[in-house]
Structure 1
Amino acid sequence: MKTRITALSTALALGAVAMVPAAASAQEAGDIQIRAFVTGVLPSDGEITDVRVDNIGVPAGSQTTVSDSVVPTIAAEYFVADNFSIETICCITPHDVNGAGALAGADIIDDAIVLPATVTAKYHFDLGGIKPYIGAGPAYFFIFSEDVGAGAAGLGITGADLSDEFGVALQAGADIDLNDSGLMFSVDAKKYFIDTTATFTDNTGILLQTEHQLDPWVVSAGLGFRF
């Protein structure tokens, strides 16, 4: 899925470049941009990096993976100075945690929902009709609605929780003007650096607690408007 989304974003960007008009609007202090994206959320393997508690004897070689997700997203930004903006995004993204290695084929957590609250400071380079940018900022992942998968239930687990966590996001992309009235085509990529703690319980307490590396790529393409 990662390859397909990257290829699609590249093809759309190349097609939009061909439509860039000679006239292009500048990015000035006080401007607002709203962009609507199709977004691929592509976690790293979601691997176990540490086992804090193991009261159920998880087999040696046990690992986990986190599923990819494709969702609609909205990005809104305000230009606090010429070519310098503050952006936030709005989306929720569902993911499953599945077993790998000795746990291959096991459903561990179903339908965990992630709300990746993110604020980035961005600098925009004005190349006329094409405006690349770079950015960075803090992120906080709210994770909720975790359901115990069948594989975890088979180990006696009745409750699952993925911890909310702070992290950081790096960002790069480009806005490509489609006319001189503010309409644009945009491509965007963010790399998050963030982990989570998975806690599995039954009615007696904690059965298993593990640390997981998420570090997702978030790759987007869509249309926007500057006003």
Structure 2
Amino acid sequence: MKTILAITSAAVALVASPAAAQDRTGDVQIKLMGTAVLPDGEIDEVTVDAVGLPADLDTRANDNVIPKVSIEYFVTNNVSFETIVGITQHDVDTVSGFPAGTELVSDAQLIPATITAKYHFDAGGIKPYIGAGPAYFLWVSDEPGAATIPLGVTDTDLSDEFGFALQAGVDIPVGDSGFGFTLDAKRYFVDTTARWFAGDTLVIETEHNLDPWLLSAGVSYRF
């Protein structure tokens, strides 16, 4: 009986020790990544038109590549919460209705404030994850596009909006020092209202689907 108990205890210890060694509860992980921001920007609806826009007018926001920092806290071994720090800049150009590339909004700078809850899977040497959470798109500046200024436009405004993000990726540890590589993809579902003013008069108002992809790759450090 003592022999059986000893063998059982040894087996439990062998099974439990790897889990304890890899327990991440309370860990913080910092990621520094290069991120491709790939928005849509198409017009969903024209709500104000005082200038006679073409019926087939549509737009697109240009892509951008930015540095991004992610900060992640593990509340359990497999569950974490992550937020991101970064700012991206875009122009909004026409794709139809006017000559392609006609600039309607210039140098629109956006902070895509995001918090996601993530679930991590153990898959041998790599750790894939999925996540989801709310986002708030905060436009910190925007300017009238070059094509709108001759029409008398003096100001442009893009509305701040709440949205939602889905996320998937993989962490690839390098040794036991806490360093690693990471790949991450986020898809946002969020709109914005664009307004063009001539003085104090609203002359154009359009609803746009932004719905960007954020595709990232970089390095991580867990401690």
Distance in 1 (CA, whole Å) between partners of 2:213 and 2:54 is 30
Aligned CA-pair RMSD: 1.4
Instruction: Tell me the residue number matched to 2:11.
Output: none
Q: Is this contact kept in 2: 1:30–1:80, CA < 8 A?
A: yes
Paired positions, count: 204
Any stretches of 5+ residues in structure 1 without a counterpart? Answer: 1-22
Match of 2:139 in 1: 143
The one-letter code sitting in structure 2 at the alignment partner of 1:158 is T
Structure having greater relative contact order (Cα 8 Å, sep ≥ 6): 1
Q: Deviations over 1:181-218 (max 9, x none)?
A: 11110000000000000000011410000000000000
Q: 2:172 aligns with which of 171, 176, 199?
A: 176
Q: Percent of pairs identical after alignment?
A: 53
Aligned to 2:65: 70
Q: Is the 8 A contact 1:93 1:113 kept in 2?
A: yes
Q: TM-score, normalised by structure 1?
A: 0.87
Return the index of the structure with the highest Cα Rg: 2
SS state of the match for residue 146, structure 1?
strand
Superposition deviation, residue 118 in structure 1? 0.2
Specify the alignment match of 1:55 in structure 2: 50
Q: 1:220 to 1:55 in 2, by over 3 A?
A: same
Tell me the distance in 2 between the aligned counterparts of 1:26 and 1:60.
Answer: 59
For 1:32-111, list aligned pairs within 5 A. Answer: 32-44=28-40, 46-103=41-98, 104-111=100-107
Q: Secondary structure of the residue that 2:147 maps to in structure 1?
A: helix
Superposition TM-score, scaled by structure 2 size: 0.88
Q: Is there any run of 5+ residues in structure 2 with no aligned partner, and where?
A: 1-17
Q: Paired residue for 1:159, among 155, 158, 177?
A: 155
Q: CA deviation at 1:60?
A: 1.8
